[in-house]
Structure 1
Amino acid sequence: MADADTGKAKKRDWRKLAVALGNRKTAFMLLFGFAAGLPYALLLGTLYAWLSDAEVDLETMGVFSLIGLAYAFKFLWSPLLDRIDLPALKRLGKRKQWIVTAQLLLGVILLVLSTLDPLTSLGWFSLLAGIGAFASATQDVVVDAWRVDVADEKATIDILSTVYQMGYRIAALVGGALALFLAERTSWPTVYATMGAIMAVVGIAGLFAPDAEQTTAKLGADAEDLAALRRPGEIVPGVRKWALLIIGALWAWALVSVGVFMVRSLGSDPDTRPDSVEFISTQGPLVVIATVVLPAIIAAWLVFQKRQGNHLLTSDEPASGAFDRAIDHGYRALILPLTDFVGRLGWAVVIVIGLVLTYRITDAIWGSFAYPFYLGELEYTKDEVAVASKFFGVGALMVGLAVGGTLLTVIGRMATLTFGALIAALTNLLYADLAVGGVRMAAVSDAIGFSWLVSHLGGDARLAKLMLTIAGENIAVGIAGAAFVAYLSSIVAKGYSAVQYALLSSLTLLVGTLGRGALGQMIEERGYYDVFILTTLIGLFAVGLCLVEWWRISRQGRRSGMDETALANA
């Protein structure tokens, strides 16, 4: 009888997966994932190949990498995207109006870039690249919010998260390897004009995407939401005002500091450019404290005061003027997402933040040192690395994403999240073996016949062990990535999805950025082997946090901080 029930449950899981994959929302999620990944690949990867061909100096190219800060600090303007409507585009929906605008703007920017010479028009080139990074990061914020908002019983958050990652990785291949292939046979202006046209077509197609019913319904409820802040049982306006002013000042300082740094860094005079390493090592932690740590403490204090019955209104207190209404708007946009998050999670917010900080930190840090390891330490050729990493590796990553999406549906989110963390940590040991000669990886490759296959396709046993290592890591990263995006999407509230998801995802990027200097120093002093052992241990710490979070969710159920759809798949 138990076997029959298990068989029926498995059939329901597979049927659920098939329905989700055939949903219209899933198709648009794939498209939006592609649209998110393409400009990132073109502006923070392929662009350097164009600059190299144009003989732009290395110092200037290093400055271009700083436009990536737009992605790390995208949460700073996310509250505006949650509450501000674009003129004449409001009817598209709260999310779609920003998604379509960002995609069309990116299409125009790529087309204009294709008309410029990066050597003679470097100022305009850097300005457009910076605006493009800002538009791309903005698109990421709203697409992430759209994914959370439109998820339902058919197009589940797990499947949407997996499909988004697939679209993103396909775009990385198109904007990376395919762009290089086309540039070799045509020209860089042709490549960027083609990619710009693709982004414009995606933007037009986005007009027909569904928007979240809940988000659209909220358009007519703004006045009611604001009025609710001034009813009995809510925090008194005076306390709310000071909380908003303090957190607003902290976020404004961070936004201005990062903005000034980027503008100065992209200037035409090298002598006036600030030291990026110094900024990241000194200002980076301060930005994290100002925008995450202190606001979280203030939000926790507000939640505590409300639960204790302190500083609460005892009667209606309507807004008396424009200033009061402005304070209410700001509080709703910036503070309520934080108090909602802290209020739902309670003490577990420490576990969640710890999990966010450690789950993908090794990937975020390691990416900067992958090519020095392959090309410098192991002395592979560029062609070998391209075959192993860009082609075979991307295929393995797609396999991992597909497996991750299936596991999310069949065994549940937290089981997949924990399994992904475990294998992602252990695959660091594969690289540790390569760092000391790769004897074990070579033996495995020989034993399963992979060395024989690669040798018959034009490679050798040495290339085979690199391909096998990268494949193992990428499959693990695909499974872990699908589970992690689904987990983050499940713990944010639909009403505040843009701010909450942007904060969590940016926190992952920020910590990875801050840790690169220390990891680089460790590589210089102790070598790659010790670094891979360290990243394995960090990954195992994330496994422990996954187990704690899994226990918390299982024990607390609806009080865990997840929405109902998320709980059904946990």
Structure 2
Amino acid sequence: MALSGSTLQAWLSVENIDIKTIGLYAIVGMPYTYKFLWSPLLDYLQPGFLDRRRGWILIMQLVCAGLLCVMATLDVHNAWQVAAVAMGVALCSATQDMAIDAYRTELLPEEERGLGAAYYVAGYRVAMLTSGGLALILAGQWLGWRGTYFLMGALMVAGAVATALSPAVSGQTHSNTRGPSLSEIVKDSTKDFLTKDSAIWILILIVLYKIGDAFAGSLSTAFLLRGLGFTLTEVGTVNKTVSLVATLGGAFIGGHLMKKMGLFRSLLVFGILQGLSNLSFWALSLFPAHVYSMAAAVFVENLCGGMGTAAFVGLLTTLCSRQFSATQYALLSSLAAVGRVYLSAPAGYLVAATSWGTFFLFSTAAAAPGLLLLVYLKKSIDKLTIHHA
């Protein structure tokens, strides 16, 4: 969630918090890495209303709304308080994501999962842009940071209403009847995944595939604001317009191309484009700042990032069994978050020791290991596709 990530990063930047401290705030995203630890609870417990998936989504949305309102009252110079509440927001967001991932996996038939991934990416990025780009504009021109966070809390409540009105997964009820025990869910879901061809190497691929994109994105907002001197309004406007169009275009282009190209080719081609797109920010660091060049760089990065994410979500969905969708998807997406959280945390130190240009060149090179491993795993990924066909 941007409100505990890039938007909070922007708030800290304009308040002149040290860049090293801002970089360390990436650790707030730890719940995305460790969410697999409590993911079996989502396959085990019934909330007691709606159905298992929508019930969990609704609970997390309401709790997150409350925490955002609390964050609006804090002094951002009190690092520990801000970090604690931001961690709570990330915890609720990660749990909500697990329930949504399981909901999507169980709701969509096999033939719709590729395009469903594109719609998911589009919806997710629209939400991120609302809590990112739009939030910056609101904070910079009208509401201030506190008013913006209160508004975002209200939008979470609106999202909870939409959750209550969404369709139920076939066969699910709000009954408290429980199936397998927690230990059985953990054991059986693990055994089910490990029977897949090259399972361990696939887990490593999940960690590495988006590492370059995650590394560059960890300080992109700080780069535009502090490195190039753009205003909150300029950054927010570009994120709201150019970034939105590019992200939606990338997601839908990627989703439709996946039908023709297949999973492996999509992962390879989109992954290459995703890695190379970081060079647009490197080029941006070489020349005087201009809003049009910023818009061009943001467009390229989001277009390629949307395509890469669509293929990546397609891979994660293909790897999951319906019976253990929450547990398995949580484990896989947690591994993907390793790069975003731990490997991106030292990003501020790299910028401080070198330069913004070197930082973005490094992020481009960081994409190479994942792509090489992907090529190595071609046969295993093709088998996954055949199995789910």
- TM-score normalised to structure 1 length: 0.59
CA–CA distance in 1 between the matches of 2:25 and 2:370? 33
1:370 CA displacement: 2.4
Larger radius of gyration: 1
Q: Distance in 2 between matches of 1:464 and 1:513?
A: 31
Root-mean-square deviation (CA, aligned residues, Å) is: 3.6
Q: Which has the higher contact order (CA 8 A, sep 6+)?
A: 2
Question: Displacement, 1:539?
Answer: 2.5
CA distance in structure 2 between the aligned counterparts of 1:380 and 1:52, rounded to whole angstroms: 11
Aligned pair 1:424/2:269, yes or no?
no
Matching residue within 296, 306, 312 for 1:478: 306
* 1:159 aligned residue: 115
Deviations 1:299-351 (A, max 9, x none): xxxxxxxxxxxxxxxxxxxxxxxxxxxxxx242132222111101x14x1133
Q: Give the structure 2 partner of residue 400 of structure 1.
A: 250
Q: Does structure 1 residue 73 correspond to structure 2 residue 34?
A: yes
Q: Which residue of 2 aligns with 1:134?
A: 91
Determine if the alignment matches structure 1 residue 332 to structure 2 residue 195.
no
Aligned length, in residue pairs: 386
Cα gap change, 1:519/1:181 in structure 2, threshold over 3 Å: closer, same or farther? closer
What SS is found at the alignment partner of 2:38? Answer: helix
Task: Give the match for residue 381 of structure 1.
Answer: 230
Alpha-carbon shift at residue 484 of structure 1 (Å): 0.5
In structure 1, distance between residues paired with 2:30 and 2:331 = 14
Per the alignment, do residues 200 and 380 of structure 1 end up closer, same or farther by CA in structure 2, a change over 3 Å counting?
closer
- SS where residue 251 of structure 2 aligns? helix
Which 5+ residue runs of structure 2 have no aligned equivalent? Answer: none
Contact in 1 for aligned 2:30/2:341 (Cα 8 Å): no
Matched residue type, 1:194: L
Determine the structure 1 residue equivalent to 2:2: 41
Q: Helix, strand or coil: the match of 1:73?
A: helix
Residue segments in structure 1 that go unaligned for 5+ positions in a row: 1-39, 226-328, 439-459
Task: State the Cα distance separating 1:400 from its structure 2 match.
Answer: 1.1
Could you tell me how far 1:433 is from its partner in structure 2? 4.2
After superposition, what is the alpha-carbon deviation per residue over 1:501-521, rounded to whole angstroms, capped at 9, x for unaligned? 111111122133332366555
Aligned equivalent of 2:105, options 138, 148, 156: 148
- Structure 2 match to 1:499: 327
1:367 maps to which of 212, 217, 233: 217
Post-superposition shift, 1:413? 2.7
Which of the residues 154, 168, 183 maps onto 1:211? Answer: 168
Give, in whole Å, the separation in 2 of the partners of 1:42 and 1:70.
Answer: 15
Give the deviation of 1:148 after TM superposition.
1.1
| Matched-pair contact (CA < 8 Å) for 1:162–1:401 | yes
Contact 2:22 2:348 in 1 (8 A): no
Partner Cα distance (2:386, 2:56) in 1: 25
Whether 2:65 is the aligned partner of 1:104: answer no
Aligned pairs for 1:409-558 within 5 A:
409-435=259-285, 437=286, 462-516=290-344, 523=351, 527=355, 531-554=359-382, 556=383
Paired residue type of 1:393: S
Kindly state the Cα deviation for residue 482 of structure 1 after the two structures are TM-superposed.
0.8
The match for 2:125 is 169
Cα offset, 1:85, TM superposition: 2.3
CA distance in 2 between partners of 1:525 and 1:166 (Å) = 36
Q: State the one-letter code of the partner of 1:333.
A: I
Shift of the alpha carbon at 1:536? 3.6
**SS at structure 1 position matched to 2:68:** helix
1:191 to 144, 148, 154: 148
Q: CA deviation at 1:164?
A: 1.6
- The residue type equivalent to 2:132 in the other structure is G
Query: 1:360: Cα distance to partner?
Result: 0.2
* 8 Å Cα contact 2:9-2:221 kept in structure 1: no
- Cα shift readout 1:72-120 (whole Å, capped 9, x = no counterpart): 322221122221223x32xx22211211111122233334555x45479
